[in-house]
Amino acid sequence: MFFVPNLALADGYTALSYGSGPDGYRSYSFTGDIDLSKTVKLSLDHFLAQSAGASNTHQTGLGISWQALELVSANYRYSETNDGTFAVKGSEGGLSFALDTLWQGELQTSFDLGYGSFKYKSANPQTVAASNFVLTQNRNSYGLSQDLTSTLTLYGSHDQYKYDRDVKALAIFLLKRTRNTSKAAFSLLAFPDKTNTLGMGWRATDALNLDVSFSKTTTLLDQQLKNTRLGFDYQASDSLNLGIALTRSIASAMVNNSGVTVQPETRDNYWELTAGWSF
C-alpha cells in the first residue's frame, strides 16, 4: 500500500500507448508523472503485451525522482514483471550529472550512472523445469548525452549484467518463447549479458521532435538482439502531444552445443502510437 498526498494542485503528465506487431502482438501502456514539489516527481507506469498462443506479459513500475542540486538529480524505480513463467521484482536507482553547469556551457552535457537488481522466481512451477528456481540479476549502466547544437542531441549508453548462478540451460528454454522488442519487460526475460545503445534526437521545429536509435544486446548464449527505432513526437497543443514509433527488430539464430538450431533468425517490425496530456 502506498500513501499519496493531496495532489489536486500539482502539475503532471500522463500518456497512453498502443502497439502492434507480428503474430497477433498487441501492447498497451500507461505512464503518469506528477510533481510532488518543485524538485520531487512521482511516476507510475504499466505495460501489457498480448500475442497469439502465448501468455500475457505485464510490467508495473513506481518511481520517484529528485532534483537534488542543479548539478545532480537522483531517481529510483520499483517494478514487477510477469509473463506467466517468471515473476521478476526489480529495484533500480540512478544519478544524473548536468556537467555543463560546471563550465556554464550553452549546450547541455549529462552523464548518467545506474544500478539495478532484479530477482526472478517461478510464476507457475508447472512451466519451469526447476520449480524452486530463484535467480538474481544485477545491472550496471552508464550513459552520456551531448547537445551538438541547440536542436541536435547525441546520446549513448552501456549496460552490463551479472547473474548469481549459471542459467544457460534455462536461457535456452526461455529464448524459444520470448519476444525481441525494445520494451524493458521483454529485455528482462531474454537474459542479456550486455547492451549498447546509440541515438540522436532532433528538434525539427518548436512542435516536432524526431529520435532515431540503435541498440544491440548480446545474451548469455551469444545471441544478438538488434533494435532500430525511429520515433516522432508532435506537440499538438499546450497540453496535448502525439507520437508514433517504428521499430525494426532482428534476433540472430540460436544454435545449441550439438549444432542444432533451437531458434531461427527472426526479423520483425513493430509500431506504437502514443497520446500524452499535460495538466
Please state whether beta strands 192-203 and 86-98 pair in parallel, antiparallel, or not at all (unpaired). unpaired
Neighbours of 73 (CB within 10 A): 19
| Sequence-distant (≥ 6) Cβ neighbours of residue 257 within 8 angstroms | none
Q: How confident is the model at residue 188 (pLDDT cuts 50, 70, 90)?
A: low
C-alpha cell at 179: 519476444
Q: Does the pLDDT value for residue 244 go beyond 50?
A: yes
Radius of gyration of the chain (CA): 20
The whole-number pLDDT of residue 138 equals: 97
- CA–CA distance, 151 with 205 (Å, rounded to integer): 9
C-alpha cell at 61: 513500475
- CA–CA distance, 244 with 156 (Å, rounded to integer): 22
Domains and CATH numbers, the chain: 70-278 (2.40.160.10)
Residue of 147, 157, 77, 78 lying closest to 113 (CA atoms): 157
The whole-number pLDDT of residue 83 equals: 86
The whole-number pLDDT of residue 191 equals: 83
Per-residue pLDDT tens digits for 116-173: 999 988 887 665 555 567 889 999 999 999 999 999 999 999 999 999 988 776 666 5
Average pLDDT score over residue span 49-57: 85
Site of grid cell 518463447: 177
